[in-house]
């Protein structure tokens, strides 16, 4: 299995490096549209990346399925065989408003289990890569699990619009400080490296968190819903990724005052 994964990985990394060259050109020609509200944005860049990945699968791995944010929502057989989960641009609002802090989130599942994962920070050209049975890498260098960190010593990250005021202040008081990047993949990657103690997304879509399953497993992090239960990769939902040292106290605070909305 590992050899086969390494071969698939080579194609994907090559494709990501091609996107690295092409995305700046796409950005120069960006066309912006709204989806469900004026805050829900999509661009031709998001759609083109997803199309390009679909083409890669058709050419190299025709039996692999694609579950992608922009155009691939059929969920019928996703637990069978190979399934890719793709968010072509996570942080589209950041892309549009700041031209910074956006990434791709890409993950391969085999019979429902995560086996390959990628988060690529386009502007900083940082590739987080996880290969089941092999290792986790940041730009090719092996990444070790972060040290165990207490909540009081950790930076934490959550969307402040969806937590009630009391819960939010309790979390702020219990932690070292607060930062939000605004791209679920990049906020999560800060937990991989120990820069954040945890990240919460109260209503994660499957493509916001597809890659995080394998990174969490291989880096000894906690990734569950807010009741310490596993998250289904096809449905997403309330999500925490956390350093083991921050996890229980965070959930206790989050739940004690009925703290969040979906
Ligand atoms: C968004 C980002 C953001 C999160 C939103 C997501 P998108 O993804 O991950 O951090 O707060 O809920 O929708 O729309 O930019 O792919
Ligand atoms: Ca997203
Ligand atoms: Ca997206």
Average pLDDT along the chain, 262 residues, taken 10 residues at a time:
92 96 86 81 87 97 96 88 97 93 98 98 97 97 98 95 89 97 98 98 96 98 97 96 98 86 62
Q: For the residues of 110-124, what is the DSSP string, one character each? A: ETTEEEEEEEEETTT
Report CA-CA distances (Å) from 230 to 146, 167, 234, 238. Answer: 21, 23, 12, 10
Per-residue pLDDT of 59-71, as tens digits, reads: 999 999 999 999 8
6 CA → ligand 2 middle, Å: 26
69 CA → ligand 3 middle, Å: 6
Ligand 1 proximity of 162 Cβ (cutoff 6 Å): no
pLDDT at 29: 82
Per-residue pLDDT of 152-205, as tens digits, reads: 999 999 988 888 889 999 999 999 999 999 999 999 999 999 999 999 999 999
Ligand 1 proximity of 182 Cβ (cutoff 6 Å): yes
246 CA → ligand 2 middle, Å: 24
pTM for this structure? 0.95
pLDDT at 261: 64
Alpha-carbon distance 160 to 138, whole Å?
29
Q: What residues have a C-beta under 5 A from ligand 2, the ion?
A: 87, 90, 208
Of 181, 208, 241, best ligand 1 pocket probe by most atoms within 8 Å of the beta carbon? 208
């Amino acid at each position: 299995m590992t050899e086969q994964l390494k071969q698939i990985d080579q194609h994907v990394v090559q494709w990501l490096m091609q996107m690295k060259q092409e995305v700046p050109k796409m950005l120069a020609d960006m066309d912006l549209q709204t989806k469900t509200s004026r805050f829900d944005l999509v661009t031709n860049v998001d759609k083109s990346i997803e199309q390009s990945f679909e083409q890669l699968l058709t050419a190299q791995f025709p039996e692999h399925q694609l579950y992608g944010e922009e155009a691939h929502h059929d969920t019928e057989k996703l637990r069978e065989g190979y399934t890719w989960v793709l968010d072509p641009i996570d942080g589209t609002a950041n892309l549009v408003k700041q031209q910074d802090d956006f990434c791709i989130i890409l993950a391969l599942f085999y019979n429902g289990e995560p086996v390959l994962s990628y988060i690529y920070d386009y502007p900083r050209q940082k590739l987080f890569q996880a290969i089941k049975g092999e290792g986790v890498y940041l730009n090719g260098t092996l990444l070790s699990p972060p040290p165990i960190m207490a909540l009081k010593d950790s930076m934490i990250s959550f969307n402040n619009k969806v937590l009630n005021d009391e819960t939010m202040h309790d979390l702020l008081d219990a932690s070292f400080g607060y930062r939000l990047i605004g791209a679920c993949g990049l906020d999560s990657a800060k937990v991989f490296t120990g820069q954040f103690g945890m990240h919460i997304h109260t209503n994660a879509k499957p493509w916001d968190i597809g890659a995080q399953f394998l990174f969490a497993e291989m880096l000894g992090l906690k990734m569950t819903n807010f009741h310490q239960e596993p998250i289904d990769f096809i449905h997403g939902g309330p999500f925490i990724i956390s350093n083991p040292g921050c996890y229980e106290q965070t959930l206790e605070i989050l739940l004690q005052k009925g703290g969040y909305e979906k």
